[in-house]
Amino acid sequence: MKKGLVAIVAGLVVLTGCVNTPPSATEVANEIIDSLDESDQVKDCMRLKVAGFGNLDDAAAKADDGDPEAQKVIDAFEAALAQCKNG
């Protein structure tokens, strides 16, 4: 599960930093969640968590630039996703 969370966060940071018009962080996160080997219940929970992070695109871009406050948002995002598996 931790590898899946890391993949989601890493994918968000890389994609927002690499292309001129990247897909939204929400779109990327949902695509990665869809590819995880998890139950539908866990995936649905994760999608709800993603939807609750309205500033995900901005946070991912700023975290890629080294902004510590944005990194805290990304860390909170990762923790929220982990709650789906753990609780």
pLDDT confidence bin for 49, thresholds 50/70/90 = very high
Global confidence as pTM:
0.71
pLDDT confidence bin for 7, thresholds 50/70/90 = low
Q: Which domain holds residue 74?
A: 2-86
Domain count for the chain, please give it. 1
- What CA–CA distance (Å, rounded) separates 19 from 87? 36
> Considering the chain, what percentage of its residues have pLDDT values greater than 70?
75
Q: Does the structure show a pLDDT above 80 at 45?
A: yes
Q: Does the structure show a pLDDT above 80 at 14?
A: no
60/34: higher pLDDT:
34
